[in-house]
Chain A
Amino acid sequence: MELKNHILELIRRASTDLPPDVEERLKRAYEEADEGSTEKSVFNVILENVKLARENSTPICQDTGHVIFYVNYPYGMKEWEITEEIKKATIEATEKNYLRPNAVDPVTGKNSGNNVGKNAPYITYHCWDKDYIEFKLMLKGGGSENVGAQYKLPNAELKAGRDLEGVRKVIIDAVTKAQGFGCAPGTIGVGIGGDRGVSYLLSKKTFFRKMGSNNENPVLAEFEDRLEKELNELGIGPMGFGGKTTVLDVFVDAQHRHPATYYVSVSYMCWAFRRKTMRIMSNGEVEYDD
């Protein structure tokens, strides 16, 4: 099965072509902004940039991010072979400037120059019962990653207890602290429960959801809508210049926790919300999804 060239195309699309649901949400933010405001001109240049990047096939943002893959593969395929193809595609995507060299060895300080290194790209594998392979790719910018936060409830300072009201409080705190640093307006991914590690993973996995979608659990769905409304009342606005749109959406998910722990992880995705999915069917046909 041809993999490398398809993965290369997946990377190109993720880096240069903002998903339509995100673009629509940004257009709404532009329309809602006051006439003549800085907020309005910011959304104007953002939308122009999205269009230019798509037309020129150049990166939406120069920080082409951490390269994060989730792969679901049919029984019989080998993980190490898929990894080799992902690495080859990543090296080529870097040569073609779809990706900026972003993999730095923290011990030597040396940039590998091709986005390949230990755990780079980061790949999570899952063998499933379907006969096709699916690649989900997320490009997660460093600026937005730096404003992510993890809380341990209860939190005395915020008077946040071990319940959804407590979760609400820490999310408001995280977004207030993020200001415009993560390239607001952001999309907020929240993982409740689990251990420290999987809590963060859950918060990031929510970013494969589409704008405007809600958690299947009606309690969490209502919680998400309430938070989106409240966070937009903070007035931080795009880039922290002030304005009506501080977040584009809020995605929350929960998983069982240990009785002694209650973690809430808040991941922040910049407005340049880059994700794409690709499926290679058993007959070789390729499907893309945003």
Chain B
Amino acid sequence: MTIKINLPVSEEEIRKLKIGDEVLLSGTMVTARDQAHKLMVEKKPDFIRPYLKDSVIYHCGPVVKKNENGEWEFVAAGPTTSSREEPYQADVIREYQVRGVIGKGGMGEKTLKGLQEVGAVYFHAVGGLGTLLAKRVVKVKEVFMLEEFGTPEAFWVIEVKDFPVVVTMDSHGNSLHKTVLEKSLEKSKKLLGID
């Protein structure tokens, strides 16, 4: 069954989620990737604080166009690989009281611990869904650091409607990535004959 969540969201509601849950997200979230994470850890800027509190960070480098009326529009916007933010993520979640992170590929132990402590989850979006996910972005509300970081790396504050994700790391210390990795490693060792 698909669960619907509106952003911003309470810690209590997020703690109810478990790995494997299919979720549709609606509300305001923020895209941030490599340079943005580095900035959030090293400089702790305040401009992004109100947007991140109880909301979600989306690891995404979108293709964006400017319409004739001057408004931005997302053209393609699937998730990027999250593991690059592993050194920063737990600190960012703590500092900005974030309730979720969307990306692909999952994250490591440090993030898993951070999710548990703050009360947040990792939502996995399907990588490569450029067009489909851009269509779920109903409005670009704001953009920060566009000039300095370029289109893919800027903070895009967006409003989404029914954005499809799967919970793959929950706030109880469970990671679907860890489970699949362990099972596939076991099978791999059998195929390699190195039990």
Q: Report Cα–Cα, A142/B42, bound state, in Å.
A: 26
Rounded to whole Å, the gap between the CB of B168 and the closest CB of chain A is 7
B81 touches A45 (CB 8 A): no
Q: Which residue of B lies closest to A16 (CB)?
A: B131
A59 and B131: CB pair below 8 A?
A: yes
B160 within 8 A of A: no
B132 touches A239 (CB 8 A): no
> Do A271 and B128 touch (CB < 8 A)?
yes
Interface hit among A60-68, A82-90, A202-210, A249-257:
A60-68
**B152→A38 contact, CB < 8 A:** no
CB < 8 Å neighbour of A45 from B63, B80, B126, B188: B126
User: A236: CB under 8 A from chain B?
Assistant: yes
Q: Are A45 and B129 in contact (CB under 8 A)?
A: yes
A179 contacts partner chain B, Cβ-Cβ < 8 Å: yes
- Inter-chain contacts of A239 with B (CB < 8 A): 104-105, 124, 126-127
By CB atoms of chain B within 10 A, which of A48, A61, A62, A97 has the most? Answer: A62
Which one of B94-102, B115-123, B176-184 contacts A? B176-184
Residue of B nearest to A56 (CB): B131
Which residues of B lie under 8 Å from residue A230 when comparing CB positions?
191
Bound-state Cα–Cα, A48 to B135, Å: 12
Asked if A235 meets B183 with Cβ closer than 8 Å, knowing A62-B77, A183-B104, the reply is yes
Total residues of chain B contacting the partner, CB 8 A: 48
Is A111 among interface residues, defined by CB-CB distance under 8 A?
A: yes
CB-nearest residue of chain B relative to A274? Answer: B128
CA distance A101 to B164 in the complex (A): 26
Q: How far is the CA of A230 from the CA of B128 in the complex (A)?
A: 25
Q: Kindly identify, within residues 85 to 139 of chain A, every residue whose CB is under 8 Å from any CB belonging to chain B.
A: 97, 99-102, 111, 113
Are the C-beta atoms of B184 and A52 separated by less than 8 Å? no
- A240 near B22 with CB under 8 A, answer no
0/1 per residue, B69-111, Cβ < 8 Å to A? 0000001111011010000000000000000000011100000
Q: Flag if B185 contacts A176 (CB, 8 Å).
A: yes
Q: Is the CB of A111 within 8 A of B150?
A: yes
A sample of 11 more A-B contacts (CB under 8 A), given A63-B78, A63-B80, A63-B130, is: A49-B129, A49-B133, A59-B130, A61-B76, A64-B76, A102-B152, A142-B80, A143-B80, A181-B81, A240-B106, A240-B177
B interface residues (Cβ-Cβ under 8 A, vs A)? 20, 22, 60-63, 65, 75-78, 80-81, 83, 104-106, 124, 126-135, 150-152, 164, 166, 168, 176-177, 179-181, 183-185, 187-188, 191-194
Task: Name the 10 nearest CB pairs between A and B, nearest first.
Answer: A62-B76, A183-B127, A49-B132, A59-B76, A111-B150, A53-B131, A272-B128, A176-B188, A61-B128, A61-B130
